[in-house]
Amino acid sequence: MKNFALLGSVAAAALVWAAPVVAQDEAADDTAGEVYFVPSPPPIVVSASRDGGIKLRDYTGSVAVITPEQLESRQTRDIADILRDVPGVAVAGVAGQTQIRLRGSEANHVLVLVDGIEVSDPFAGEFDIGTLQAEPGARVEVLRGQQSALYGPDAIGGVVSYESANGRSRPGFNARLEGGTHGTVNGALRYGAFGDSWDAALSAVVVSTDGQPNARNGTRDIGRDSYTLAGKGSVEVTEALTLRAAARFIRTEGRTNDSNFDRTSPTFGFIIDSPGVTFTNEAIYALVGAKLETLEGRWTHDLSAQIADVERETDSPFGITSASEGDRFKASYVSALAVADDHKLTFAADYEVEGFRNATPGGFVFDERREIEQVGLVGEYRYSGEALDLSAAIRHDFNDLFRDATTFRVGAGYRITDTTRLRAAGGSGVKNPGFFELYGFIDGRFIGNAALRPEKSTGWEVGLDQQLGESASVAVTYFDSELDGEIFTTFPAPTFIATPANRTTESKQRGVEVSLAAQLSDQWSLDAAYSWLKARESGVEEVRRPEHIASAALTWTAPDDAASATLVVRHNGATPDVAFTDPSFRPVRVQLDDYTLVNLNARVKLTDSVNAFARVENILDENYEQVFSFVSPGRSAVVGVEARF
């Protein structure tokens, strides 16, 4: 493949002068009794500020931090799975595309960062979170609510930030190999190293499965093979100057099924077994940067550049049925000044150019390359006191295609007592139309709309964080948002050919999020989350946004960590969706049944460096659909071994 040469170059660069995208103060000692979202999390929320991080206790918005320990205790392989345990997150996946929605937003309203790199596909406008595999030592942050003031048009609903471990925080070799039902094999290998002035890490993950049928009454297994190779690290050139780089290659090959387009068939519009239909997704991401500290570290300057190159293709027995190419170049400068111990000012400037081309062969698609250019300027202020925390950010985006936009975010937190904290935040967001929405063309099936305008959102939230004794904490948040100019697909007469348009009415989202973290005893711990959501447009429920989502993870750990077991229960309420079962191709509203998934895993220590493990997913063999007519996997089981040395 043509991208393997580039992959080798960026991976080598990442090992030579790659780096953590975060500068964490591992020595922070002020988190005891003041952590509300997860037990014993790292003290820094990296993605919550453009200057490299905020202490968790000082953040004024809603955030969930998924620690490496949680990823490992739940034996997480696909990051999409553990995101189901975060309040306010809805996950819906099919072969070739897994979507996440935050607080009722659309899937393309969520900015996904991987080691600081923006990884969404410029063509599709969103990232397939199903291609992100968990690496040993990784962690995840989820910021909920409008974040456009910090990150621009792609963060209207929130930010999901995945960070792989650097060579200093997790040195040595990590290896994992497992196999199980449905021909499943999953392997991971990682090596990290560091010296006095450098660190580096390289990891590889391979996932292969024969899969299970995903069509109602189908027999064709929908399998996939996924490969990830990543590297990162840093080098301190001087005491004040640090260089860093990160790179990642992801390739996924899999089977998929098509809808039945035979108007005379009783299963018209349903997913059916489609022999020979496959998909291939391939992406390369890379980042290089430099950070300079001046005024004894009180004034920092960070300059970085990143690229993304994403290719997607769907094939049938008759050849390529669809293909796209998307690319992004982004350069950023961030300057942060600590005015005093409690005050910090940050300025950021972003330059970004995105390009795409519909690479589907044949004369029935529009295949001309298009580009969009954008410049964003950010100003941010933070105050962190003993009891009061304040934050404010404003951003202005200069767009070459759309009207310039200004977005903001403000927040405050107040510690009423040592164990009780109130917080409130509000902000605005904007989302520019995607390339395919603007210019996409498939003869007789889809026509783009170059007159689309950006979607705009405003919202606010109020929350309470309560420490319960020394071993438990609970967070409760109420949020309310409005989306103006929502882009949707319409089917105008007389041709009824799909085309996007802006709604003239407002879409409203409001809800409640609850999370609980408790150390029940020396051996038992519990994490639980619940979300209630009302997402409506003109009184009609928005699709793929369940009203109720809940999860609980109960973990037992033997003395001296000789063994452990975790029971995870995830409930997804009834969900509205659309089906194209009308021969006119006009959508028909349907309701997907609620479902509950039960997973159980266990681990036993064989030696100080080797563990054996096993897990069973969907123990009850629940039959459910996340998207209309796509049947999700049933029961599966794996056993494996992992080593760290």
Digit-coded pLDDT (tens) for 602-611:
999 999 999 9
Q: What is the model's pLDDT at position 103?
A: 97
**Angle formed at CA 46 by CA 41 and CA 50, multiple of 5 degrees:** 160
pLDDT at 246 over 90: yes
Q: What is the model's pLDDT at position 365?
A: 65
**3-state SS class at 326:** strand
Question: Which has more pLDDT, 396 or 490?
Answer: 396
Q: What is the model's pLDDT at position 568?
A: 98
pLDDT at 16 over 80: no
Contact 223, 210 (CB under 8 A): yes
Q: What is the model's pLDDT at position 587?
A: 84
Residue 626 structure tokens? 């996340």
pLDDT at 14 over 70: no
pLDDT at 624 over 70: yes
Q: What is the model's pLDDT at position 312?
A: 95
Residue 61 structure tokens? 């918005």
Q: What is the model's pLDDT at position 43?
A: 64
| DSSP designation for 57 | G
* 389-398 LR contacts (CB < 8 Å, sep 24+): 389/58, 389/59, 389/60, 389/413, 389/414, 389/423, 390/60, 391/59, 391/60, 391/425, 393/149, 393/150, 394/149, 395/148, 395/149, 395/150, 395/152, 397/152, 397/153, 397/430, 398/374
Residue 586 structure tokens? 């006009």
Residue 285 structure tokens? 């991401």
Residue 57 structure tokens? 């206790």
**560-573 mean pLDDT:** 97
Contact 491, 505 (CB under 8 A): no
The CATH class given to the 3-518 domain equals mainly beta
First to last CA, the chain: 34
**Residue ranges of E strands in 104-240:** 110-114, 117-118, 139-144, 158-163, 172-180, 184-194, 198-213, 221-236
DSSP track, 562-599: SEEEEEEEEEE--EEEEE--STT---EEEEEPPEEEEE
110-114 and 158-163 beta bridge pairing: parallel
For tokens 């995607």, the residue is 434
How is the chain split into domains, by residue range? Answer: 3-518
pLDDT per residue over 377-391, tens digit each? 999 999 999 999 999
**3-state SS class at 339:** coil
Helices (H), 420-460: 435-439
pLDDT at 1 over 90: no
Q: What is the model's pLDDT at position 359?
A: 87
Q: What is the mean pLDDT of the chain?
A: 91
Neighbouring CB atoms inside 10 A of 527's CB total: 23
Q: What is the model's pLDDT at position 376?
A: 98
The model's confidence at residue 123, banded by pLDDT at 50, 70 and 90, is: confident
Q: What is the share, in percent, of the chain residues with pLDDT greater than 90?
A: 80
b/e map of 351-376 (b: 16 or more CB within 10 Å)? Answer: ebbbbbbbbbeeeebebeebebebbb
CA atoms of 105 and 75, how far apart (whole Å) = 28
| DSSP designation for 618 | S
Q: What is the model's pLDDT at position 22?
A: 33
Residue 101 structure tokens? 């929605």
Q: What is the model's pLDDT at position 236?
A: 97
pLDDT at 346 over 70: yes
φ, ψ (nearest 5 deg) of residue 547? -70, -35
Amino acid in position 65: V
**157-178 mean pLDDT:** 96
Tell how many helices (H) and how many strands (E) occur in the chain: 5, 42
Contact 542, 511 (CB under 8 A): no
Question: Which has more pLDDT, 515 or 538?
Answer: 515
pLDDT at 354 over 50: yes
The model's pTM is 0.92
pLDDT per residue over 297-326, tens digit each? 999 999 999 999 999 999 999 999 889 999
The model's confidence at residue 11, banded by pLDDT at 50, 70 and 90, is: very low
Q: What is the model's pLDDT at position 263?
A: 87
Q: What is the model's pLDDT at position 9?
A: 40
pLDDT at 133 over 60: yes
The model's confidence at residue 252, banded by pLDDT at 50, 70 and 90, is: very high
The model's confidence at residue 5, banded by pLDDT at 50, 70 and 90, is: very low
pLDDT at 328 over 50: yes
Q: What is the model's pLDDT at position 363?
A: 64
CB neighbours of 543 closer than 8 A, spacing ≥ 6? 575, 576, 577, 578, 589
Q: What is the model's pLDDT at position 313?
A: 95
pLDDT per residue over 19-49, tens digit each? 333 333 333 333 333 333 344 444 688 899 9
pLDDT at 561 over 50: yes
The model's confidence at residue 539, banded by pLDDT at 50, 70 and 90, is: confident
Q: What is the model's pLDDT at position 364?
A: 66
Q: What is the model's pLDDT at position 446?
A: 84
Q: What is the 3-state secondary structure (H, E, C) of 61-113?
A: CEEEEECHHHHHHCCCCEHHHHHCCCCCEEEEEECCEEEEEECCCCHHHEEEE
